[in-house]
Amino acid sequence: MGGDTKATGVSRRGFLASSASTAAVPLAAGVLGAGAASAQAPGRAPDPRAPVDMVLKVNGTDYRLPLDIRTTLLDALREHAGLTGAKKGCDQGQCGACTVHLDGQPVLSCLTLAVMAQGKAVTSIEGLEGRDGTLHPVQQAFIDNDAFQCGYCTPGQIMSAAACVEQGRAGDEAAIREFMSGNLCRCAAYPNIVAAVKQAAVVKTGRA
Amino acid sequence: MQPVPPVPPPMENMGKPDPRYEARSKVTGRARYAADEPVSNPAWAFLVTSAIAKGKVRRFLADEAKGIPGVLAIITHENAPKREKVAFFGDGGYVSTSLVPLQGPDIHHAGQIIGVVLADSYETAREAAHRLRVEYEVAEPVAGFRSPGAQTVELAAVKKSHKDVGVGDIDKGLADAAVTVDAEYFTPTQHHNPIELFSTTAVWNGDELTIYEPSQFVYSLKNCVARQLALPPEKVHVINPYVGGAFGSKGAPTQRTALVAALARQFNRPVKLVVARDQGFFITTYRAETRHRVRLGATPDGKLTAYGHEGWELTSMVDNYDVAGTENTAEMYASPNVWTKVNLVKADRNTPGFMRSPPEVPYMYALECAMDELAVALNMDPVELRRINDTMKSPINGAAYTSRSLMKCYDEAAAQFGWSRRDPRPGSMRDGEWLVGWGCATATYPTNMMPSAARVRLGGDGSARVQVAAHDVGTGAYTVIGQATAEFLGIPADKVVVELGDSRLPPGPVAGGSMTTASACSAVKVACDRIRERLGGSVPADPKALAGMFEKLKVGSLEEYAEWAPPGGEKGLAALHEGRMGGGSAERGGGTPKPAMFAFGAEFVEVRIHSRTKEIRVPRITGAFAGGRILNPRTARSQYLGGMIWGIGSALHEATEIDEKRARYVNANIAEYLIPVNADVPLVEIIMVPEVDTQVNPIGVKGIGELSNVGTAAAIANAVYHATGKRIRDLPIRPESLV
């Protein structure tokens, strides 16, 4: 199964990150994950459900978390790192509420396994605000344009909007609407979201 | 009148367009929704739901699931904790369905809860739920209207309080008519699909239970669960300061909460359940499908002589849920002869429930399409047909409208839209490969109120705190309750702290029926008036003067708890503390006959339909609305905006598809259950028509959250007719409807 292959491959990476001084290191350098795991417990099948030590770099801080290999990045953030800004709206990549940035690119954290995010910079909504409390231009624009109602999809909308502006995709309203259409808003604040992205884009180009 | 920009300038009888009270917490991710609440070492619950719609669970094969490390328990009807039965809310009780899960092997609908897996982690609970094997005894279900064996009952026969409204003689009215319309319409099953998933976290501390759950009515949830678990209500505490969208789906408590709470007690550990999106379609409620037969008769100059409306609504086998929208549509236009009848059709489905404008959306769709058909038959402009039949008193009992700005809305929206440039001939407004159609329809929503309490405290420093167990489901309740407190006390709005969404606060209204502002702010006004009285009539703006007054009164702060009920609704105050929707809700003021209290609007849409592919777009939509006093035009505009986009979804996208053979929802996810996305919504223009109504309630507020999604689908269907000459009477209208 694909999932199993992925899981073993990445557990090797987690193994390397957490136990660099053990005897398994020379083995692991040339052998696949299964070999590394079996070196851990000779003669016994590895427990696929055993927690794997992972290190996630979120908003500039390292989180060392022992996680079930099946844990999504979204659940790792919400249930293990205490960062509940990213929201679960479908858990299957349909709504966009869980959008975070991985090395600057917007990704659906519910479709990203936590192990896949290791070694990359994760930015969540909590990391957008400046340390002095200054809001990111997109956050301010969402307030100014009443670009949300219930606020549940908002962290995902803002992360997508920030990427939209950052990637220069906010040229006109049609382009913004297209870019932002992966983020569902059931309150339907869409026209205000477009207005907010436009405002933030002006702020950015004004600065540039 | 110009469309309102996102930050509206001050307008007549409207408050300040302050940004949302909770805006900063929502854009920074700090707003804590129910499932965000951190709890210590929770056991994770994952539901096991029925694969069949009717029959029995013969047995569970649980060995494999039980053997997974970390699984704490597999709960089925064989070992589930007992809960007391509480009546269906429609019968004066609480719950969204009277069907108590895990009390026996019988299956009454697809997706019924038949098991719960408890495990140390979410991943393990989910795996075990998928590995639990179930053997069923399968029976043939009734899926819907068309199923063999579907049983129709007259609503009046099964619901004592229902009376089919009418006046005059429909047969005579039709016989007298020069022009008649007789047509049938259909609206599909729709699911609310708020983006926030349904969830429940239950934590016990001794004999006290705390529940974190998205709710539109925390007092109802508290009292319901207390009864189900045989606890004194004061032992149950519901905390839910933010709701991630609701639209009716989080109104009546579902059966899951008491089950989760009982398991938390049994296992002596917090239990957290986040219901998967697909399971949410089955374990909560939905807007039921409806059928309509509408008959209209009119004189050659367009005066209605007859309006007949028969509705059929789907409900479950176990509960009789109804919306009976004819009560409102019968009030809509002046007709001397009105006849209505509502029927229920029983099916093997989960019990339906409130969804944004529950009666008005389907029933006004049918009426407003029929009005357009009548205008075509009369060769008359559809706006003029509404004008000719506008009325300032109820056609049923003669009660006067407290205010009715319907035609003002039509005129303002028509002017902005450019309606006078419309060529009425179908198919006449082509633009290259695109067929262009313009249509319009009426929006209406009754002014509902229920009793509310509130507590207001004014501090010696001039700051205030207002507390009410009302709910902000995205409506702007935090903002307008704060603004109202500031206004009634005469202090700046930024000096007010607002607390909502907690069952330990004074009881407030359900976030339903568009009645939070009118009800909660009326109670806030009573409390604020009393505080001002104690200060001799006003709160002095000068801090020193205020401090002096407090010194003289020998107090550090002034606090008032107040209860308010709409005239004639005083008996509902006791029901309010019990969190009951019946008894105290939706009172419409006193007097005989009770005054007719409604908000109105008019909506105009342009559709463009590709002549070859039949792709349907809505490039622009204009709505004008009058809803009495508007406390905050910024949040009000957003409500109208969202509502009209809901209307676009209702017309063109939304439908829960049902497997007719298995009575199962086949698109139970938010990708295949289509809702509008940003690219579907180019231009929405909102016009707010100022309206002063001194009779509806002490603050002149009608309630607007459910106004603007009424009529939109009809306006779009009427525009589709204008574009193509095809009258599509079944929703949603998709390209295949036009091929």
Q: Which residue has the higher pLDDT, B311 or B149?
A: B311
pLDDT, position B9: 83
In CATH, the number for domain B450-577 is 3.30.365.10
- Nearest residue of chain A to residue B479 (CA atoms): A149
- The per-residue pLDDT for A33 is 37
Q: Which residues of A touch B32 (CB under 8 A)?
A: 84
- Residues B333-391 have pLDDT tens digits of 999 999 999 999 999 999 999 999 999 999 999 999 999 999 999 999 999 999 999 99
Which among A126, A143, A182 has CB closest to B24? Answer: A143
Yes or no, beta carbons of B242 and A150 under 8 Å apart: yes
In tens, the pLDDT along A135-175 reads 999 999 999 999 999 999 999 999 999 999 999 999 999 99
pLDDT of residue B734: 97
A11: nearest Cα among A79, A75, A66, A78: A66
Residues of A in contact with B643 (CB under 8 A): 188
User: Quick one: A207 exposed, middle or buried, by C-beta within 10 A (0-12, 13-18, 19+)?
Assistant: exposed
B277 touches chain A (CB under 8 A): yes
Could you tell me the residue ranges of all domains in chain A? 1-50, 56-124, 137-207
Question: What pLDDT is stored for residue A16 in this prediction?
Answer: 37
State the smallest CA–CA distance between residue A109 and chain B in angstroms: 15
Q: pLDDT (tens digit, 9 = 90+) per residue, B617-674? A: 999 999 999 999 999 999 999 999 999 999 999 999 999 999 999 999 999 999 999 9
Nearest by Cα to B446 from B605, B630, B594? B594
CATH code of domain A56-124? 3.10.20.30
Evaluate if residue B68 carries a pLDDT over 80: yes
Domain A137-207 has CATH 1.20.140.10: no
The string of DSSP letters for B670-688 reads TTTS----GGG--EEEEEE
C-alpha dist (Å) from residue B455 to A152, B521, B701: 28, 11, 20
- To the nearest 5 percent, what fractions of chain A are helix, strand and coil? 50, 15, 40
- Asked whether the beta carbons of residue A152 and residue B196 sit closer than 8 angstroms, the reply is yes
Average of per-residue pLDDT across A127-133: 94
What is the per-residue pLDDT for A43? 67
Residues of A in contact with B27 (CB under 8 A): 125, 135, 139-140, 142-143, 148, 151, 154, 158
Residue A10 has pLDDT above 60, yes or no: no
Start-end of CATH 3.90.1170.50 domains in chain B: 34-140+198-283
- The answer, yes or no, to whether residue A23 has pLDDT greater than 70, is no
Q: What is the pLDDT of residue B582?
A: 56
Specify whether the CB–CB gap between B160 and B154 falls below 8 A: no
Q: For residue B588, give the nearest of B405, B363, B327 by alpha carbon.
A: B327
**Mind listing the pLDDT tens digit for each residue in B245-299?**
999 999 999 999 999 999 999 999 999 999 999 999 999 999 999 999 999 999 9
How many contacts does A have with B, using Cβ atoms within 8 A?
Answer: 194
Determine contact: B476 vs chain A, CB below 8 A: yes
Cis (ω within 30 of 0) for the bond into B593?
A: yes
- CB-based contact, B537 to chain A, within 8 Å: no
Convert the pLDDT of each residue in A77-91 to its tens digit.
999 999 999 999 999
B691 is catalytic: no
B33: which 2 tokens?
A: 């929704």
ipTM reported for the complex, 2 dp: 0.97
CATH, range B1-31+359-447+588-739:
3.30.365.10
- C-alpha dihedral, A37 to A43 to A49 to A51, nearest 10°: -50
By residue count, chain A amounts to: 208
Mark yes or no for CB contact A47/B69 under 8 Å: yes
| pLDDT for the residue A44 | 74
Residue A35 pLDDT level (bands cut at 50, 70, 90) = very low
Token pair for B703:
């309630």
Give how far A197 is from chain B: nearest CA, Å: 12
Report cis status (omega within 30 of 0) of the bond before B732: yes
Q: Is B40 on the interface with A (CB under 8 A)?
A: no
Using a pLDDT cut of 90, give the percent of chain B over it.
94
Instruction: Say yes or no: B623 contacts chain A, CB-CB below 8 A.
Output: no
CA distance B117 to B135: 17
Q: Which residue among B639, B678, B683 places its CB closest to the CB of A180?
A: B678
Euclidean distance between CA atoms B189 and B192, whole angstroms: 10
* Mutation choice for A interface testing from B16, B20, B25, B28 by most A CBs within 10 A: B28
B33 touches chain A (CB under 8 A): yes
Q: For residue B429, what pLDDT is reported?
A: 96
User: What's the whole-number mean pLDDT along residues B432-453?
Assistant: 97
Q: Find which of B7, B20, B21, B26 to mutate to test the A interface (most A CBs within 10 Å of its CB).
A: B26
Pick the residue from chain B with its C-alpha nearest to A85. Answer: B29
Confidence of residue A49 (pLDDT cuts 50, 70, 90): confident
Residues in B touching A91 (Cβ below 8 Å): 197, 276-277
For tokens 């933010």, name the residue: B242
Would you state the structure tokens that stand for residue B90, as one six-digit string?
A: 């429609």
For residue A188, give the chain B residue with the closest CA.
Answer: B642
For residue A29, the model assigns a pLDDT of: 34
* Amino acid B461: pLDDT: 93
Mutate to test the interface with B, among A95, A135, A152 (most CBs of B within 10 A): A152
Q: Which of B55, B52, B49 is nearest to B139 (CA)?
A: B55
pLDDT tens-digit profile of A177-194? 999 999 999 999 999 999
What end-to-end distance do the CA atoms of chain A give, in Å? 48
Q: How many other CB atoms are there within 10 angstroms of residue B206's CB atom?
A: 6
**The two three-digit tokens of residue B335, written as one number:** 């007709």
How close, in Å, is residue B465 to chain A by CA atoms?
22
Surface of B (667-686) touching A: CB under 8 A:
669-671, 675-679, 681-684
B678 with A142: Cβ contact below 8 A? no
Q: What is the pLDDT of residue B569?
A: 84
Options 3.40.50.2300, 3.90.420.10, 3.90.1170.50, 3.50.50.60; CATH of B34-140+198-283: 3.90.1170.50
How far apart are the C-alpha atoms of B565 and B569, rounded to whole Å?
6
């010696």: which residue's tokens?
B460
| Buried/exposed B220-234: b ≥16 CB within 10 Å, e otherwise | bbbbbbbbbbebebe
DSSP H/E element including B123 = helix B122-131
Q: What is the pLDDT of residue B48?
A: 98
Q: Helix and strand tally (H, E) in chain B?
A: 18, 26
Alpha-carbon distance of A107 to B389, in angstroms, equals 55
Residues in chain B with CB shorter than 8 Å from the CB of A197 are none
Strands (E) located in chain A? 52-58, 61-67, 99-102, 105-108, 121-123
The chain-wide mean pLDDT, for chain B, equals 96
C-alpha dist (Å) from residue B518 to A8, A135, A143, B634: 59, 34, 25, 17
pLDDT at B584 over 90: no
Give B400: exposed, middle or buried? Use CB within 10 Å, 0-12, 13-18, 19+.
middle
CA distances from B32 to B470, B583, B684 (A): 17, 33, 31
CATH 3.30.365.10 positions along chain B are 1-31+359-447+588-739, 450-577
Which of B473, B635, B669 comes nearest A146 by C-beta? B635
Token pair for residue B260?
A: 């989760």
Residue B478 · residue B241 · CB < 8 Å = no
Average pLDDT over residues B71-87: 97
pLDDT score for A46: 80
DSSP 8-state secondary structure symbol assigned to residue B630: B
Q: Alpha-carbon distance B307 to B309, whole Å?
A: 7
Comparing CB atoms, the residue among A125, A153, A188 nearest residue B645 is: A188
